[in-house]
Amino acid sequence: MTADDATVESAEPPLVTPTRRWSQWPAAVRIGFLYLAARVVTTAFFGIATTLAAPTSRFGKGATIGDYMLGWDAQWYWFTALNGYPAALPLTSAGKVAENQWAFMPLFAYLAQGIGFVFGSWGAGAVIISLVAGYFASLVLYRMMRLRLDRSAATWAVVFFACGPLAAVFQIGYAESLFLLWLFLALWMLMRRTYGWLYLLIPLMAATRPGVLAFALLLGLHGIWRWWQRRKTPLPGRDAAHIIVLAALATICGFAWQVIAGIATGNPDAYLATELAWRRNWISDASADFSPFHGFLEATAFWFTTWGLNATIGYIALAVLVVGIAAVLLFEPHVKRLGVDLRLWTASYLLYLLAVFFPQSSIFRLLLPISPVWGALAAPRSTVWRGGVLVACLVAQWWWIYNVYALSTTYWQIP
């Protein structure tokens, strides 16, 4: 080989491999491809579930994928869009408040009605919102993760999110996808200290699903943290003012629906009484009054005695779980890489659930707002680890779909 040959050879462009070509695509395209692939897998799971449906299931033996997409709470959102909210709370034969539309915030129901009008079907509008919002939530999650993780880990976090155990909610008539979009945008803005957008996002969250009170707690903790770190990272007066006003706004929005329901029905406890109506599906003599943290304690006793164990063991297990989660958020290295804001959000939301929720099978769905934690599972660079997590996600997703749609024959198979 001559010197000229060597010069020509060294001047050749580098080999363009599929991996290199993939990395050059815009993030929106890469995330879109991964999200679409995940939706194909979920649709396949739904299809298999229809063939395995039990005759005694909620949907019956001949159920279709469409039936599944518009089942369970999707029927409540549809009913709300069609009939609005009752001025008089419906009562059971025992004179207690029955399940009704006040448990469901209005934005998803009416937005689906508007979009569905174009397609001639409320259900089409609902599923379109879930699909589209799920994609944009995935994209925002990627952008959020890139503030703390490298591109590979951020991408894997999105893969776990899009293929996770509850990924079916991205293509059913539930408000979760839309809420996650507003929430991820709000967390992203908070991480970037771009507070102005939160004045829009907080009311949108509050009009979509419960949970904005957890965001109010996050803002309070975020403000305390920024004040504590002000010598290392300055806290301008403008930022401090934004944090205080936004925390107040989130608190007001968090209680606004209760006030609206109370005014509309003439019953100040209309919203809480409606929420407690669902609790009687598990405990028929459940208290008619709401008390913070009582639901978790009541459910702990219920479940552990149902499993043939002593309630005291349940209380101990609950305490160990709380301490364990706190330790993970404080000390686990991969979780710490997510940054203080996402860890504070996770703690705030879990504390909110502990205070207001009666844990049952729906708790898996209600854990979706802590999805940024997928970044901690994506952080290890091991291909075997990441592949194992993905397989676990898909197995859990199938288990969830099979139970709540193909079977749905007992009280713990509710999504």
pLDDT in tens, 289-314: 788 999 999 999 999 999 999 999 99
Extended beta strands in 50-98, E state? none
Record the tokens describing residue 319, joined without a space: 């305490």
- In three-state secondary structure terms, 91 is strand
Lowest mean pLDDT among 122-126, 397-401, 407-411: 407-411
Quick one: pLDDT band at residue 115, thresholds 50, 70, 90?
Answer: very high
Q: Which residue has the tokens 């799971």?
A: 45
In this predicted structure, the answer to whether residue 94 has a pLDDT above a threshold of 80 is: yes
In this predicted structure, the answer to whether residue 268 has a pLDDT above a threshold of 70 is: yes
pTM of the model: 0.94
In this predicted structure, the answer to whether residue 13 has a pLDDT above a threshold of 70 is: no
Of the chain, the end-to-end C-alpha distance in Å amounts to: 69
Lowest mean pLDDT among 20-24, 93-97, 148-152, 364-368: 20-24
In this predicted structure, the answer to whether residue 8 has a pLDDT above a threshold of 90 is: no
Lowest mean pLDDT among 3-17, 135-149, 310-324: 3-17
Please compute, for residue 186, the number of CA atoms within 13 A of its CA located in the half-sphere on the CB side: 28
Record the tokens describing residue 255, joined without a space: 């209680």
In this predicted structure, the answer to whether residue 87 has a pLDDT above a threshold of 60 is: yes
Q: What is the DSSP letter of 379?
A: -
Quick one: pLDDT band at residue 4, thresholds 50, 70, 90?
Answer: very low
Other CB atoms within 10 Å distance of the CB of residue 37: 13
